[in-house]
Amino acid sequence: MADMAPFRAWKYDFSRIGPPSEVLAPPYDVISHGRARELAKASPHHVIHLILGKPAPGASFGPGDYQRAAETWDAWRRDGVLVRDEQPSLYVYDIEFSDLITDERTTRTGVIGALKLEPFEAGVVLPHEEIFQGPLSDRINLMRAADAVFSPIFGLHEDPGGAATAALTAKADEAFIETADGDGCVHRVRRVTDAEAIEGFCAALAARTVIIADGHHRYTAALEHARAKGRLGGKADGSRTMFCLTPSDDPGLRAYGTHRLFRGLGGAPDLAPLADLARIQPLPDLDAAAAIQVVESAPAKLPTYVFATRGGLHRVSVEDPSRLERLLVGVHPALRADELTILHRAILTALGIGASGIDVAGGVGHTRDAAEALREVRQGEADLAVLVRSPGGAELAAVCAAGQRMPQKTTYFYPKLLSGCVFLDLSG
């Protein structure tokens, strides 16, 4: 089913431009406009010149921005900033990091390759959450200008015990990238050229489906770009996109909740309308770690949130799901237990914050950092923050199997893959 192939990656010539730490970055959608400007000034060869990061608040990129990224891509290949591997390869990508809740040190392993693009309806590549139109248009415009993939999409696949991944890893070369990011995560990327090992891994994957963990906008953009070019269903690199695939039972797999921030509500919302749906309990002035424990320690089948307003913290828990029925009419059974679906379709609706307002261009923000969420409310920059618990892997798989999608920004898979480790040329 899933068709992964080795490819001849373009890679930075670090002997020429300096260490990886000076040019690599996380995915575009977690880089603020201000941070993107800092990175661009730090190095003329930083990957931010290709992936762009986020536009200024309330603004968007124009044709000139995408064209400059494409011209930079061409210039770096022409001038030797980037060099191309001589033979098709797969790339083993390990990240050693600390769990954000327990501080336990662990490692997650993935394999980067060129995955054949499949329409979602084919059931081979499965999304798990909705997307925003603005970021989708942005990524389509960038791909149209450059005809290349600058960042791997992060996906999950079934590989019991990591057997196929381990067999491939055993044939990997020494790391050509080993670098720490700002969070203390150590990233190592190794190349695999052994034909037998590559064939074995790809054959094992062929019986599986792939769940998109991070990169829904980029995958959808790649589909649209391939369709527009008449490449979808073909055999060349232009019919593929770059994925980093990790076994769904990898012991280092971590997904955290993505907390919600609401601005422009005109002040602290009145939580009284929630009394008919949920139990509302005032909380003391907790720090972020303690507030997260309130939701993480709640019973698994009891949808629970921490609402933070300028008036203080409240635990909001739905103890009688039958009270939600009238607000969940038309919601697929696979989503009726999803806490973010309940939040958006029932809880926020009861507060007058309808689903139509949940848009990245509006007054809604997303963060995995509970401390940041609480800080914004306490400093008056946001009217409401909603802290949510980490999603369960089984729940995510069930939603995908049912052909459904959770709300936008449901999961925060951590750590983020670095952009710039390898690049995929789609032009042929």
Q: Average pLDDT of 98-125?
A: 96
- 86/203 same-domain check: yes
pLDDT in tens, 179-189: 999 999 999 99
pLDDT in tens, 314-328: 999 999 888 888 888
- 160/73 same-domain check: yes
pLDDT in tens, 373-390: 999 999 999 999 999 998
Q: Is residue 249 part of a domain?
A: yes
- 250/267 same-domain check: no
| pLDDT score recorded for residue 360 | 42
| pLDDT score recorded for residue 300 | 83
Q: Is residue 284 part of a domain?
A: yes
pLDDT in tens, 306-317: 999 989 999 999
- 285/187 same-domain check: no
- 165/280 same-domain check: no
- 248/264 same-domain check: no
Torsion of CA 291, 295, 298, 301, to 10 degrees: 170
Q: Is residue 392 part of a domain?
A: no
The neighbouring-strand residues paired with 260 are 366, 386
> For residues 363 and 353, is the Cβ–Cβ distance under 8 A?
no
365 — pLDDT class (breaks 50, 70, 90): confident
pLDDT in tens, 35-58: 999 999 999 999 999 999 989 888
Range of the domain at 294: 259-387
Q: Which helix (H) or strand (E) holds 331?
A: none
Amino acid at residue number 257: G
Q: Is residue 19 part of a domain?
A: yes
291 — pLDDT class (breaks 50, 70, 90): very high
| pLDDT score recorded for residue 354 | 61
pLDDT above 70 for 362: no
Q: Is residue 397 part of a domain?
A: no
| pLDDT score recorded for residue 199 | 97
pLDDT in tens, 409-428: 888 999 999 999 999 999 98
| pLDDT score recorded for residue 361 | 44
Estimate to the nearest angstrom the gap between the alpha carbon of 330 and the chain centroid: 28
Between 268 and 105, residue with greater pLDDT: 105
- 325/209 same-domain check: no
420: left (phi over 0), alpha (psi -120 to 50) or beta: left
Q: Average pLDDT of 353-359?
A: 53
Q: Is residue 146 part of a domain?
A: yes
- 81/175 same-domain check: yes
pLDDT above 60 for 87: yes
- 299/361 same-domain check: yes
Q: Is residue 244 part of a domain?
A: yes
**Range in 66-80, 143-157, 259-273 the model is least confident about:** 259-273
Joined tokens for residue 55: 């536009």
- 192/270 same-domain check: no
| pLDDT score recorded for residue 359 | 45
Secondary structure in 3-state letters for 178-246: EEECCCCCEEEEEEECCHHHHHHHHHHHCCCCEEEEECHHHHHHHHHHHHHHCCCCCCCHHHEEEEEEE
- 242/286 same-domain check: no
pLDDT above 90 for 260: yes
pTM for the full model? 0.91
Q: How many domains does the chain have?
A: 2
> For residues 91 and 82, is the Cβ–Cβ distance under 8 A?
no
| pLDDT score recorded for residue 288 | 93
Q: What is the mean pLDDT of the chain?
A: 93
> For residues 413 and 154, is the Cβ–Cβ distance under 8 A?
yes
Give the whole-angstrom CA distance, residue 5 versus residue 135.
28
- 300/345 same-domain check: yes
pLDDT above 90 for 331: no
Percent of the chain with pLDDT over 70: 98
Q: Is residue 405 part of a domain?
A: no
